[in-house]
Structure 1
């Protein structure tokens, strides 16, 4: 496989592939496709551009390494270009004229990722990059790259346990490091080699790195960790088994900082090892979705934001499962079943089915349905209620987990349960999750002897944190938070007319602002948190939020169909599937369009979302399901109002984005679309 990872068909020397990185990536995707390594080209280009939108791939030395894993790729491939016109890839030292497109199959094994990681590691070597710049032929480039990816790995003897545990030599600081990037293909290994090569040039430091990439993870020897004076976490994702480093001074940043500023990071780690007040590792990794700010450690605000998003992401499955089960309960048992579901589910069985009349709390109650449908509806509803009963506790527990690791889970869940008991709802869950996370993190930073340290994460931290959170909630915070929650519910219940429409506009704008980001998730949390109450105002908010979130993917899909010439081939390809994502209420289906052209796409989507939200609230539409889009139509009432609101928003967004692109054109996208059209005509 490694012999054919690159060939002369995949090399472009001194070529002009475009004026910006979007054009260069798209051109290289075409090179890979023309070589028979990917199909369709639009999918590969879209996947690579989507990865680029997350964070720039420019690295020191005028090099860029756009990369992705894609369903379009048939075998691991490297597309190479030495550009005659350098292009900005967000590198720390200016434009890049050496570009590798690293294309990996989406479902491939780990062997090809090892090969790609070898290339990434070689790119931090000056001799290799100089050879790429001085090469006179495509064959020479192929030989250089093939030699690198075929080279046997250098085996560096790991320190023996006794050696690792030995005290450091005078003036020498022992450091362990973790590097990890979201895709685990390139930056992970470049950061590791950048730190390692920098450390090897110094006499005052010994450094060992664990790469948590896609190709393999070889854990650090526990003795090496034990002997370390400080830790460097250079990651854009969570650190696996973070608790191994508990108590060690830590320097934390995004993965690219280790590539760009290895000297500074090592200096900071040495300083931290000598500072008794330095920040220390408290517990397990932050959630996998966390992205550390590059160039500095995690700020308090950033950490809170990431923690809340983690809590929401873990809560959503409870909401989705519980809400859809509630909706199915209504579908089978009828809406009046909600008044007696508990008595029906617990008082009857498959061999003793209920009739139309059932005793509920000592009084007879007549239901529209009877027999198996009523019973199974009640069972589904009861199961859904059980799942919904966990949402506040899950929100609180996983916020605390994101902040303090596993020791934060128990006190977070306890705090969430107390919030429900006191009527503080999801607002209380947010507060208790943050409190539990901060307190558990603080207690975890205490310096204790070895015997007590082994009990800290399992007993002491959960016990003390749960105690403190419980006392704070019952003695100080519970009643004020309950008052806030009650006031919010009363306000929602009293909404009508213009006030409801204004709220619908706000929610619609939020759902379409960042298409799955923090603002979108905040609106969704607001809607789902009130769903378990069952009051009409909460159901209306849920309907408005779901409909508004469906608008962007459907509108972009429709726009690419109506005016293809305004969109790139990659966007046209995305448009073929975006409508289905929209119908399923997956707002993220519009992200590739927004990433490529945010100033035209995002305002257009927000206009449509606001229209849909306003009309949904105006028509008094309610949804008993928190997710599912058009496929949970049976849980939406009145359905006609919801469909009218959805269609109106789609129409507004579609017209707006076409007008923006028509009268305020994006020259890059226009040129790319025109080029593709000319190629079709020529063919």
Structure 2
């Protein structure tokens, strides 16, 4: 770590009073040393990471961090605040601030060192020594592990804990740093650079086990060797836990949670083996270690990879911060579940209601419902795109009567253009036939994992057959997922568990979903779908314009997030038939036109007023031309993340203008995607492109006006005024 932090990167009198100001002050030191090339661009990346989850930790620690293309080499800056700075920790402000900057393509060794630093923050002597450091050079040496903590020099031998091992707070800083260095070079905890395909072997285990030691000689047991070193007939063998930790970036919280769980395991007399799933990869726990475990702890803020490996055991599922702040409580909880005989299903997603087990830790029912629906929509969209474009091409080549062509299996003329047009049209029709079943099937999959697929597809196909349409698919998917989760809660004899996911669950859930869709709710849903279709077909004049405004606002609100996807799904559902109504095609035209506006506007603004944007933003603006023209709204996200209070309202204004104009002029669109590349499939294409241009001009003008109203600095260094709350509102939907 010697090249990652120097005295020049330490500020023992950090005067900032907000986390944004603290990050700027520490990042400025990195810029001065050439470690960061673009201050504002880097700070935007830090703010985007902070919006995903606060980086404050209990104990007065703030650890903002990110990967960024503006970082030239892995760098750590440290600041000490006398007043304290709020980083979102539950116990109050932080006085020790660590800013970690990792290059976007950081090598494995450096990221392992960063993870080792994260582990040291769990050592109270280490943090106490930093609070008492008298000069920057001493603080930098402490962080590098070159200088032991003053308290450790004369401290008596640590007293054993209840488990017979020294507690983390009793180890010296020098010993802790050395231990982490060993972990990074000899038996490292799997870091972000670890291979996802290399399983740990007995000679080089990638995970660490914390076993209760004998009173005389407390020695940690390596993960791969733990099961083999314990006699099979030992009556009082320790309780064994396997854990998985992960955070969105995979640099800090992942490894801090692992260290905290390991320390708590030592104190509780429990053997803990941790698999750290970093952002760039992970090394799997030995299957023998998992098989021998008595319980499982998931401390994560991103999805646990290959979660089925841990099925059939008592499980505690929580956020990564809980793993850092209350590891002893998590260990006690999993032991209580084991004592009660609670366990996840042997071959399934686990037990519990949708609220209890689906989604990320802390999510409410509304958030989880949104994720289930977005799961179905995300799998449906490729079918919409492929089928819609094929049908549109069929019409473009063969004319509007192509839907009456004979089946190509019965009649196909290799030299006839109409036959090829009919072929495209009929293939597209087959693709469209999957839309509702795929939507329903993957909504159920999002709720109940693989067991939800069969009843979901069955319910979706029934919805398609009875003309219940898009609405019927939504309902069928939700019912299928709920039915599977309910069946999984039933206690069954162990002898039957093997056939549950293959025979029993598909059989029972399909019967129940089929009965409900065909006999109980299918007909009312089909009638509601028809009523909505008739209403859309009757829209004209001011009503159509108002709908265009609403769709434009939704498309530009979160730039690819859930609100954007709701508007897009509404439009694609209308054209997901072989003969869509004129109103449905107008809605599709308005949605695509509005979605093109934000990136095109950012590209235009960076071209017209370069001084208002950083160098990185001007480079992003060049790419945004192509992304906007291709109907990829996400091209505006870098601008919105850095300045949401100006970019998002301006984008919504332009989107509303474009949506209203396309509905007013009556442009139509049969293709669900493509941007300007499918202009030949657009009705009234010239007016359509003028509507897009008008919205782009409005958004670009508003962005320039709003940015010009603030005080600017010389070119290339425009200040970033990031509202954390607004950034969080933007980033959360995008990540979802």
Query: Which of the five TM-score ranges fits, normalised by the shorter chain?
Result: 0.7 to 0.9
The residue that corresponds to 2:451 in the other structure is 407
Output the CA distance in 2 between the equivalents of 1:406 and 1:376.
38
Distance 1:555 1:216, change over 3 A: closer
The superposition leaves residues 318-359 of structure 1 with CA deviations (integer Å, 9 ceiling, x where unpaired) of 22333333344444x24336424663576225xx322xxxxx
Specify the SS of the correspondent of 1:626: coil
Distance 1:515 1:268, change over 3 A: farther
CA contact (8 A) 2:615 2:716 kept: no
Matched, 1:152 2:182: yes
Deviates further, 532-541 or 146-155? 146-155
The residue that corresponds to 2:202 in the other structure is none
Specify the SS of the correspondent of 2:576: helix
Matched, 1:353 2:415: yes
* Unaligned segments of structure 1, at least 5 residues: 355-369, 679-683
Pick the aligned partner of 1:195 from 224, 242, 261. Answer: 261
Pick the aligned partner of 1:211 from 261, 270, 276. Answer: 276
The residue that corresponds to 1:88 in the other structure is 86
How many Å apart are 1:30 and its aligned residue? Answer: 4.9
Matched, 1:501 2:531: no
CA contact (8 A) 1:114 1:216 kept: no
How do residues 226-245 of structure 1 correspond to structure 2 at under 5 angstroms? 226=291, 228=293, 230-245=295-310
The residue that corresponds to 2:325 in the other structure is 260
The residue that corresponds to 1:318 in the other structure is 383
Output the CA distance in 2 between the equivalents of 1:168 and 1:582.
67
How many Å apart are 1:316 and its aligned residue? Answer: 2.1
The superposition leaves residues 49-87 of structure 1 with CA deviations (integer Å, 9 ceiling, x where unpaired) of 322222222222332333333344444443444456643
Output the CA distance in 2 between the equivalents of 1:164 and 1:313.
50
The residue that corresponds to 1:104 in the other structure is 102
Distance 1:345 1:539, change over 3 A: farther
CA contact (8 A) 1:21 1:87 kept: yes
Matched, 1:472 2:516: yes
CA contact (8 A) 2:403 2:425 kept: no
CA contact (8 A) 1:167 1:227 kept: no
The residue that corresponds to 1:357 in the other structure is none
Distance 1:446 1:658, change over 3 A: same
Pick the aligned partner of 2:52 from 54, 66, 69. Answer: 54
CA contact (8 A) 2:76 2:98 kept: yes
Matched, 1:555 2:601: yes
Specify the SS of the correspondent of 1:603: helix
CA contact (8 A) 2:253 2:320 kept: yes
The residue that corresponds to 1:519 in the other structure is 563
Specify the SS of the correspondent of 1:455: helix
How many Å apart are 1:544 and its aligned residue? Answer: 0.9
Output the CA distance in 2 between the equivalents of 1:590 and 1:164.
60
How many Å apart are 1:152 and its aligned residue? Answer: 0.8
The residue that corresponds to 1:446 in the other structure is 490
How do residues 616-631 of structure 1 correspond to structure 2 at under 5 angstroms? 616-631=662-677
Distance 1:179 1:671, change over 3 A: farther
Specify the SS of the correspondent of 1:625: coil
Distance 1:614 1:47, change over 3 A: same
Output the CA distance in 1 between the equivalents of 2:499 and 2:381.
32
Distance 1:111 1:418, change over 3 A: farther
The residue that corresponds to 1:615 in the other structure is 661
The residue that corresponds to 2:399 in the other structure is 335
The residue that corresponds to 1:363 in the other structure is none
Output the CA distance in 1 between the equivalents of 2:523 and 2:228.
55
How many Å apart are 1:221 and its aligned residue? Answer: 4.5
Matched, 1:633 2:679: yes
Distance 1:130 1:572, change over 3 A: farther
How many Å apart are 1:525 and its aligned residue? Answer: 0.9
Aligned residues: 644
Deviates further, 493-502 or 584-593? 584-593
Deviates further, 47-56 or 206-215? 206-215
The superposition leaves residues 202-227 of structure 1 with CA deviations (integer Å, 9 ceiling, x where unpaired) of 35x55433222235534345455455
Matched, 1:186 2:252: yes
Output the CA distance in 2 between the equivalents of 1:168 and 1:399.
47
The residue that corresponds to 2:66 in the other structure is 68
Give the TM-score normalised by structure 1: 0.83
CA contact (8 A) 2:346 2:497 kept: no
Pick the aligned partner of 1:587 from 618, 626, 633. Answer: 633
Distance 1:191 1:40, change over 3 A: same
Distance 1:122 1:321, change over 3 A: farther
The superposition leaves residues 92-143 of structure 1 with CA deviations (integer Å, 9 ceiling, x where unpaired) of 3333343333333434554443332222222222223333444445554554
Matched, 1:380 2:421: no
Distance 1:651 1:483, change over 3 A: same
How many Å apart are 1:201 and its aligned residue? Answer: 2.2
Distance 1:549 1:83, change over 3 A: farther
Output the CA distance in 2 between the equivalents of 1:168 and 1:488.
68
Pick the aligned partner of 1:676 from 708, 713, 717. Answer: 717
CA contact (8 A) 2:613 2:718 kept: no
Output the CA distance in 2 between the equivalents of 1:230 and 1:64.
31
CA contact (8 A) 1:623 1:636 kept: yes
CA contact (8 A) 1:282 1:445 kept: no
How many Å apart are 1:612 and its aligned residue? Answer: 1.5
Output the CA distance in 2 between the equivalents of 1:330 and 1:10.
67
Specify the SS of the correspondent of 1:516: coil
CA contact (8 A) 1:345 1:378 kept: no
Distance 1:675 1:39, change over 3 A: closer
Deviates further, 188-197 or 521-530? 188-197
The residue that corresponds to 2:165 in the other structure is none
Pick the aligned partner of 1:176 from 242, 266, 270. Answer: 242
How many Å apart are 1:458 and its aligned residue? Answer: 2.6
The superposition leaves residues 367-407 of structure 1 with CA deviations (integer Å, 9 ceiling, x where unpaired) of xxx3xxx4444433333333332222222222111211122
CA contact (8 A) 1:531 1:538 kept: yes
How many Å apart are 1:175 and its aligned residue? Answer: 4.0
How many Å apart are 1:617 and its aligned residue? Answer: 1.0
